[in-house]
Structure 1
Amino acid sequence: MEEKIPPRVSLRQIEGFQFEVRFGEGMSPLLTDEPPPLGKGTGPAPTHLLLAAVGNCMASSLYFALTKFKNDPQGVRAEASAEMGRNEAGRLRVRRIHVRLEIGAPAAALQHLDRILRQFEEFCVVGQSVAAGIPLVLSVFDGEGKQLK
């Protein structure tokens, strides 16, 4: 389904590497900043926002897929981390993103889990878009700590 109004954000420099990010009417702005020595570290850096976007999208996609089959995931948690490295020109880049998803429910309590685990990533607009350029490593665990994917 195409969005009628494509997502859009606006950024305004406050000072140095600090920017106010506005997401639209009715949404609170966010202050971003680079960590020292470039910035003051007063807000998330762009890399944090990238990780948050991928982790949030993956968690939402898993939640959507679980509830589509009337499952109660009993909460979904996500943790995303980046492997950083330098490219051939010596520039710092995100080399890989790791996303760990955890659902509160035990796997045995969930219907159609195999199908859900095979498909939910495909619903994640951000994760799939980013994965086209940055390798994405995903793992999923249930409420008993059992690795499902």
Structure 2
Amino acid sequence: MSDIKNPQVGRKFQSYPNNIQEELLLLRQLIFETAAETEAIGQVEETLKWGEPSYLADGGSTIRINWKAASPHQYAMYFHCKTRLVETFRECYRDKFNFEGNRAILFDAGQVIPIAALKHCIAMSLMYHKVKHLPMLGA
């Protein structure tokens, strides 16, 4: 966690149960890896929005990650519900992910995450305003 520059975000990660903290840090790592591997994304800003670690790039839509005590064995990656993101993810990856409405991909603690598929979803979100006019967001 030493690479988290925003102290509020660092404290938020420290507030999670250890096993969930590791899982959420993996999601965070995948967000930054995806941005670094995808030239069209650029720099990602890390902050807290609605009390959740949040990630945004110019021309993209915010990604949030979080765990809630009400569902102790699950955590999630959240997307803006007024976009076509989750609808598109569901069309592409209905057999790989569990979804919550039009706003989230849900993960079970200890679940093996399909990394390539998730990075594709992350890339679509971080480039959303550049691809929203394309069928299936260019997927």
- TM-score range (shorter-chain normalised) is 0.3 to 0.5
Greater percentage in helix: 2
Q: TM-score, normalised by structure 1?
A: 0.34
